[in-house]
Amino acid sequence: MNPRRFRILLVAGALIAVLAALWLFAGPAARHSKLMVVITPSLDNPFFGQEAIGAEERARALGYSTLKFSHGDDAYKQSELVDTAIARNAAAIILDNAGADASLAAVLRARAAGVPVFLIDREISSRGAAAVQIVSNNYQGATLGAQAFAEALGERGPYLELVGRESDTNAIIRSRGYHDVLAQYPDLKMVSRQSANWDQAQAFTVTQSVLQAHPEIRGVIAGNDTMALGAVAALESAGRADVVVVGFDGSNDARDAIIAGKMRATVLQPAKRQAQFAVDLADRFLRTGSTGQREKLLMDCFLIDRGNAAQLKDFALAPTPASPRTS
């Protein structure tokens, strides 16, 4: 081989080795773009919409560009969107997933491609796949809602439970929390438990049907506010203002219904704060290689009723104004 060509190849090889070493040992932020991809079940639903807004606002404040997508609770579409994020060289994915089991493969595929996934709202069925899983303390929140429900009914009477999508871990945990409290009151009788798949129109139809079969019901406890509001509409159309309704999420619509006396209570889960915290942890991970936190993180929920409903806005409680000081 020509000695000059050999020296050139030797230098080039050494340069490649140096660059590879720099890439390998550089901090994660040096190896990634400044793009965060936010994927939620919907951009129109108030809860999921606030997740997307919160994540986008925080990411941009930290200097990232963002892309927002919705998967519509379709695991196949979610998989395609994760592939899109990988192809766009995303630094990280903020994901409210499409199912505890159905989402695992997509999360693992992103991790294998070097794109960490930060889960919010819904957890998946495996540990170690996502960088972090931030979820509301659904069980704790459900016990708050169930206690308020039992007290509003005077601890007695027949009731309907509206359940979310049966494959959703949150639906299962909330229902268990409700029943662990309500089972303590033997005079409370569940006459029907039906899924309305988190959907207002389905909840309206289910409630109408149950009212016809069980006109004696005195309460409806729902796994989210959307279903609770569907029940409210059905009760209004039947002239049943006497029925107690409790929801879960802390939406503006539920707040308005509580203030108007159409709902008794809801349970606030801090959607926007969860998403913002996920972005904060993603940024820390990209800069340092670690979130500094355990994988699964729980955020406590809060009961919203007539006493504090006016403070609720966009899934967050405004601080109580300080009382004026007197001299």
- Backbone dihedral region of 154: left (phi > 0), alpha (psi from -120 to 50 degrees) or beta? left
pLDDT at 11 over 90: no
For residues 319 and 327, give the distance between their C-alpha atoms in angstroms, rounded to a whole number: 24
Average pLDDT of the residues in 292-312? 97
Task: Return the structure tokens found at 284.
Answer: 């820390």
**66: enclosing H helix or E strand:** strand 65-70
Q: What is the pLDDT of residue 266?
A: 98
pTM for the complete prediction? 0.81
Between 3.40.50.720, 3.50.50.60, 3.40.50.2300, 3.90.550.10, what CATH number should domain 28-134+271-297 receive? 3.40.50.2300
For residues 139 and 216, give the distance between their C-alpha atoms in angstroms, rounded to a whole number: 28
pLDDT at 116 over 60: yes
Between 3.40.50.1220, 3.40.1280.10, 3.30.540.10, 3.40.50.2300, what CATH number should domain 138-268 receive? 3.40.50.2300
Q: What is the pLDDT of residue 325?
A: 44
pLDDT at 327 over 70: no
* Degrees, nearest 5: CA angle 233-228-137: 170
Q: What is the pLDDT of residue 319?
A: 73
pLDDT at 309 over 70: yes
CATH 3.40.50.2300 domain locations along the chain: 28-134+271-297, 138-268
Residues belonging to the chain: 327
Q: Are 142 and 174 in contact (CB under 8 A)?
A: yes
The neighbouring-strand residues paired with 266 are 304
The residue written with tokens 């929390």 in the block is 177
Q: Please, where are the H alpha helices in 71-159?
A: 75-87, 104-112, 138-152
Give the tens place of pLDDT for each residue, 56-72. 999 999 999 999 999 99
> What single string gives the DSSP state of each residue in 206-217?
HHHHHHHH-TT-
Give the tens place of pLDDT for each residue, 144-185. 999 999 999 999 999 999 999 988 889 999 999 999 999 999
Give the tens place of pLDDT for each residue, 220-246. 999 999 999 999 999 999 999 999 999
In 3-state terms, what secondary structure has residue 221?
A: strand
Q: What is the pLDDT of residue 30?
A: 39
Q: What is the pLDDT of residue 318?
A: 84
pLDDT at 21 over 80: no
| DSSP code of residue 249 | B
Q: Are 258 and 245 in contact (CB under 8 A)?
A: no
Q: What is the pLDDT of residue 223?
A: 98
Average pLDDT of the residues in 136-143? 97
**168: enclosing H helix or E strand:** none
- Determine the angle formed by the axes of helices 271-288 and 46-61, rounding to 10 degrees: 30
pLDDT more than 90, % of the chain: 83
For residues 25 and 321, give the distance between their C-alpha atoms in angstroms, rounded to a whole number: 50
pLDDT at 128 over 70: yes
pLDDT level of residue 29 (50, 70, 90 thresholds)? very low
Average pLDDT of the chain to the nearest whole number: 90
